[in-house]
Amino acid sequence: MTTRNPREQLEMIETELRHLGLLAGPIQPAEIVSSAFGMAAMSFEQWLVKVFLPRAYEASYKNQWPPQSQVGIAAIRNFDGQDEYASLVTLLCEFDQIAEAYSRQYATT
C-alpha cells in the first residue's frame, strides 16, 4: 500500500484525467446524479470528471472519507480492454485503499 494521502492521490487522478483529455479547465461543482456512477445520465468518464472528482476533493477539504469506495472496481469494469486507461484504473484502485484507510484512521481518533 502506498503512503500517499487521499488528496495527493486525487491530484494524480486529476492529472491523469487531463492527460487522457477527459478533463479540461477548472473542476466544476459536482453534478447531481440519481444512479450509481451516473449510469442513467452520463458515461463513466463523464461521471469521474463531473461527480467523482469534485465530491472527492470536497471530502478531502473536510477530511471526511467514505468507509468504502468502489470507484476502482467500477473503473476496472468500464475500462476493461482499453489499455490507454490502465494508469487511471491503477490510480482509482489505489484511491479506494487510501480513502478507506483514512476513513478507518479518523473514525477511531
> What are the tens digits of pLDDT across the range 59-103?
999 988 888 899 999 999 999 999 999 999 999 999 999 988 888
The Cβ of residue 1 has, within 10 Å, a number of other Cβ atoms equal to 7
Instruction: Give 31-72 as a DSSP string.
Output: PP-SSGGGTTTS-HHHHIIIIIHHHHHHHHHHT---S---HH
End-to-end CA distance of the chain: 21
Greatest mean pLDDT among 41-50, 56-65, 97-106 lies in 41-50
pLDDT confidence tier of residue 48, bands split at 50, 70 and 90: very high
pTM for the whole thing? 0.89
CA distance 2 to 94: 8
> What are the tens digits of pLDDT across the range 1-30?
456 788 999 999 999 999 999 999 999 999
